[in-house]
Amino acid sequence: LAKTTQPISMDSYEGQEVNITCSHNNIATNDYITWYQQFPSQGPRFIIQGYKTKVTNEVASLFIPADRKSSTLSLPRVSLSDTAVYYCLVGDLSSGAGSYQLTFGKGTKLSVIP
Amino acid sequence: ETGVTQSPTHLIKTRGQQVTLRCSSQSGHNTVSWYQQALGQGPQFIFQYYREEENGRGNFPPRFSGLQFPNYSSELNVNALELDDSALYLCASSLLGYNEQFFGPGTRLTVL
């Protein structure tokens, strides 16, 4: 399982764009990159997933360079409700009947300031 | 569509006791995974069940065991509770082979 490294914490003002970068130097060919968000005393919530280049959905964008050794989660115009812990994970989708587990690190604690 | 639910919300046990936590998967999902989250840490994978059989296990001792039922609901059993077992226990359901897992709100277990 590829190990990930992300900043422990980040602060941002409301309305700003926030970029959280994750390093995954040992990512394997079959691995996808997934980001989850977690509020206190709640389970994590899927945000976005990608394999290469750029993926965008209604809440975030994910930028993945050609070598795939890092990825950047971009949150446009954050609000106070975006204050949460954000986890970067890598994992193999082609598990078939084998085991598939999500390996969480400590995540990045994002604090949005009024 | 009903999301993942867990019961109970909170639980207090004493060292050496046994506990059973329950999870109801999201409709249509055939895989359930259990995670332990200690305070200030990310969730740690305990095991996964698919078609009522264990489909993968993390670094947890055998006193952590589970069941998955035909309706895809699941139980996590922990025997001989230790103080370090105090944590938030999360259940997540998914379709096998898909990265996106849907988490329940968790059960907060306190071992005294």
Q: Encode pLDDT of B19-59 as tens digits.
A: 999 999 988 888 999 999 999 899 999 999 988 999 888 89
Q: What pLDDT, on the 0 to 100 scale, is given for residue A32?
A: 87
C-alpha–C-alpha distance, residues B46 and B57, integer Å: 6
Q: How confident is the model at residue A41 (pLDDT cuts 50, 70, 90)?
A: confident
Q: How confident is the model at residue A97 (pLDDT cuts 50, 70, 90)?
A: very low
Taking any CB pair shorter than 8 Å as contact, residues of chain A touching chain B are 32, 34, 41-46, 49, 85, 87, 91, 93-107
Mean pLDDT computed over every residue of chain B: 92
Q: What pLDDT, on the 0 to 100 scale, is given for residue B101?
A: 86
Where are the alpha helices (H) located in chain A, listed in sequence order? none
Which of A95, A100, A109 is the best residue to mutate to test the B interface, defined by the most B CB atoms within 10 Å of its own CB?
A100
Of all residues in chain A, what percent carry a pLDDT higher than 70? 90
Instruction: State whether B100 and A101 contact (CB < 8 Å).
Output: no
Which of B97, B98, B103 is closest, CB to CB, to A44? B103
C-alpha–C-alpha distance, residues A67 and B38, integer Å: 34
pLDDT at B9 over 50: yes
Q: What pLDDT, on the 0 to 100 scale, is given for residue B7?
A: 96
Label residues B57-87 b or e (16+ Cβ within 10 Å = b).
Answer: ebeeeeebbbebeeebbbbbebeebeeebbb
Nearest-CA distance from B15 to chain A in Å? 23
Q: What pLDDT, on the 0 to 100 scale, is given for residue A1?
A: 56
Task: Decide if B45 contacts B60 (C-beta within 8 A).
Answer: no
Q: What pLDDT, on the 0 to 100 scale, is given for residue B11?
A: 96
Structure-token pair, residue A82: 């975006």
Q: What average pLDDT does the segment A62-87 reach?
A: 96
Closest residue of chain A to B40, computed from CA coordinates: A106
pLDDT at A92 over 90: no
Q: What pLDDT, on the 0 to 100 scale, is given for residue A98?
A: 43
Residues 6+ positions from A69 with CB-CB distance below 8 Å: A23, A24, A25, A27
Task: Decide if A110 contacts A47 (C-beta within 8 A).
Answer: no
**Selected residue with higher pLDDT from B32 and A91:** B32
Q: What pLDDT, on the 0 to 100 scale, is given for residue B35?
A: 94
B9 touches chain A (CB under 8 A): no
Task: Decide if A78 contacts B82 (C-beta within 8 A).
Answer: no
pLDDT at B64 over 50: yes
Closest residue of chain A to B104, computed from CA coordinates: A43
